[in-house]
């Protein structure tokens, strides 16, 4: 599992997907998220605007990420 450190109160799922390199652009992230490629804390997530807070676990495309502060 990889750690994704943020210095803001939260980050959106779309931003995390771009930040981690799982998508090259926002539009690519949107397509992958809406296709059901990602889950947050074990539940499928289709909203790219989903707010992620420290401690949240994101899984998708064979990767796992935990948001940290």
Instruction: Summarize pLDDT for 44-58 with one digit per residue, the tens.
Output: 999 999 999 999 999
CB count in 10 Å sphere of residue 41: 11
Number of domains forming the structure of the chain: 1
Q: What is the CATH number of the domain that holds 60?
A: 3.10.290.10
pLDDT category of residue 30 using cuts at 50, 70 and 90: very high
Domain that holds residue 35: 2-68
Long-range pairs, 43-50, Cβ under 8 A, ≥24:
45/13, 47/13, 48/12, 48/13, 48/14, 48/17, 49/12, 49/13, 49/14, 50/12, 50/13
pLDDT category of residue 17 using cuts at 50, 70 and 90: very high
Q: Kindly give the pairing relationship between strand 63-68 and strand 2-5.
A: parallel
């Amino acid at each position: 599992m990889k750690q994704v450190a943020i210095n803001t109160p939260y980050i959106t799922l779309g931003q995390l997907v771009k930040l981690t390199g799982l998508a090259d652009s926002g539009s690519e992230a949107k397509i992958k998220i809406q296709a059901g490629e990602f889950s947050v804390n074990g539940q499928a997530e289709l909203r790219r605007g989903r707010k992620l807070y420290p401690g949240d676990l994101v899984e998708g495309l064979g990767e796992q990420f935990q948001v940290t502060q």
